[in-house]
Amino acid sequence: MFLGEYDALPGLSQKGGATYYEPLEKEGSGHGCGHNLLGTGAFSAAVAVKDYLEQNNQSATIRFYGCPAEENGSGKAYMAKAGIFDDVDIAISWHPGTFTTVMTCSSLANYAATFKFTGKSAHAAAAPHLGRSALDAVELMNIGVNYLREHIIPEARVHYAITNAGGTSPNVVQPYAEVTYLVRAPKKQQVQEIYQRVVNIAKGATLMTGTSLEIDFEGAASNLIPNKTLYDAMQQQILEIGMPAYTIEDEQHAQAIYNTFTPEVQASALVGLYREDAMQLKDQVIANHIPNVLPEFVMGGSTDVGDVSWNVPTVQCTTVCMALGTLLHTWQVVSQGIMPIAHKGMLQAAKIMACTAVELINNPALIEEAKKEWKDRLDGEAYVSLIPEGTKPPTL
């Protein structure tokens, strides 16, 4: 099974190929996480395996899953909750990046919700005592959560955005206001516990302001379960396939993009690599060297691939689709997404995924070993979706 993503990000519209910020559409969306490449590369891998099986008279079931709304909708989490992956043996995917390597990381589980406060409008000067400010409730909630940060595990993250401040006039006691929160932590249970504390703070804000509260679920994702059996097999394919050839034009464009980064971002480009790999890539703007496999770690972000990995052994790689140091969710990713470096990385990923699938098909013992490891890592813990019962996927 191959997983494809294809959603873009709001506010990241950008002219392709430009080495300066130039949105095509004000506040428009753009592929700031490379999902235009991700979905196409995964589909290419599925087609390649299909052709291989036909040419060699072999039989196996190959599926490509188009997965919507990874960024802001937990698409795969809804799919997992619906049991779509229950009869799958292995899941394979990838993500555009700045290095070519297997992904040995876990991820942070997350939970997002919007807190909608309702108060009572009034003239802010003539009759403030008759008003009940929903905006005050939002601000008090935010203050409370800021104090909470000191008393949660350091690996956790709590983000928020005021999505409705209630109005533009300071002379009105704002009757409505909304704030959206995103809670992250290494384990699902930790996310649930921290989220409940955030809910209690929101309830406290209503008591302080005389307002009422409605909570809307926005999305959730489980933590990713790595699989060494699978990522060792995929890394072997990476080494055999090797790196694409880059032209002088590729290097020049990557250098121009690299020059748009702050010194702090440039200095972080090789952070996390082994010293010998960092030395090999020093003074480069395209990582044309395959680094050694890193030990397992927990990345700072989240992905709904985590929900897939709770249901089926899952493996992913990343390939070079952008200049060293490029941060995801930026205009620079959008700009590079139509360039040859991105297309070369996409096709490289397709080859890696396809060859990994063929290796697994031809070596069923590897599949069984991966399944055993997956069961051992779960240690008897059953998959429980973080999506509340009865919740339907969001629609535009």
Residues 212 and 239 grouped into a single domain: no
Residues 236 and 338 grouped into a single domain: yes
Residues 204 and 288 grouped into a single domain: no
Beta strand extents in the chain (DSSP E only): 2-5, 64-67, 91-97, 101-102, 109-118, 157-164, 176-185, 212-221, 314-320
CB count, 10 Å around CB of 88?
16
- Return phi, psi of residue 15, to 5°: -70, 125
Q: What is the pLDDT of residue 109?
A: 96
- In tens digits, the chain (396 residues) has pLDDT values of 999 998 899 999 999 999 999 999 998 999 999 999 999 999 999 999 999 999 999 999 999 999 988 887 889 999 999 999 999 999 999 999 999 999 999 999 999 999 999 999 999 999 999 999 999 999 999 999 999 999 999 999 999 999 999 999 999 999 999 999 999 999 999 999 999 999 999 999 999 999 999 999 999 999 999 999 999 999 999 999 999 999 999 999 999 999 999 999 999 999 999 999 999 999 999 999 999 999 999 998 899 999 999 999 999 999 999 999 999 999 999 999 999 999 999 999 999 999 999 999 999 999 999 999 999 999 999 999 999 999 988 776
Which 3 state secondary structure label does DSSP give 104? coil
**Structural domain of 201:** 109-221
Residues 231 and 344 grouped into a single domain: yes
The domain total for the chain is: 2
Question: Taking a C-beta distance cutoff of 8 angstroms, is the pair 215, 115 a contact?
Answer: yes
Q: Which domain CATH number covers 169?
A: 3.30.70.360
Boundary (domain end) residue, out of 166, 198, 221: 221
Q: What is the pLDDT of residue 396?
A: 63
| Helices (H), ranges, the chain | 35-55, 75-81, 134-148, 188-209, 228-241, 248-258, 263-267, 275-281, 305-309, 331-336, 340-362, 364-378
Residues 196 and 266 grouped into a single domain: no
Burial class of residue 139 in the structure, from the number of CB atoms within 10 Å of its CB (0-12 exposed, 13-18 middle, 19+ buried): middle
275 in a structural domain = yes
> Rounded to a whole number, what is the distance in angstroms from the first to the last CA of the chain?
27
144 in a structural domain = yes
Boundary (domain end) residue, out of 221, 247, 266: 221
| CA 335 from centre of chain | 19
Q: What is the pLDDT of residue 73?
A: 80
Q: Which domain CATH number covers 68?
A: 3.40.630.10
Residues 91 and 126 grouped into a single domain: no
Residues 68 and 16 grouped into a single domain: yes
396 in a structural domain = no
Name the CA dihedral angle for 118, 119, 125, 130, rounded to a multiple of 10 degrees.
Answer: 170
392 in a structural domain = no
Residues 27 and 155 grouped into a single domain: no
Question: Which structure tokens are listed for 209?
Answer: 């302001």
Residues 243 and 216 grouped into a single domain: no
Q: What is the pLDDT of residue 70?
A: 85
Could you tell me if residue 166 is left (phi over 0), alpha (psi between -120 and 50 degrees) or otherwise beta?
left
395 in a structural domain = no
Residues 291 and 338 grouped into a single domain: yes
| CA 372 from centre of chain | 27
76 in a structural domain = yes
What separation in angstroms does the CA of 212 have from each of 198, 204, 207, 260, 337? 16, 11, 8, 46, 45
Q: What is the pLDDT of residue 209?
A: 98
324 in a structural domain = yes
Residues 272 and 334 grouped into a single domain: yes
Residues 215 and 91 grouped into a single domain: no
Question: Taking a C-beta distance cutoff of 8 angstroms, is the pair 243, 348 a contact?
Answer: yes
Question: What DSSP designation does 259 have?
Answer: T
Boundary (domain end) residue, out of 221, 256, 273: 221
Name the CA dihedral angle for 47, 49, 52, 56, rounded to a multiple of 10 degrees.
Answer: -130
pTM of the model: 0.92
180 in a structural domain = yes
Question: Taking a C-beta distance cutoff of 8 angstroms, is the pair 364, 327 a contact?
Answer: no
- Please report the sign of the dihedral spanned by the C-alpha atoms of residue 97, residue 257, residue 337, residue 352: negative
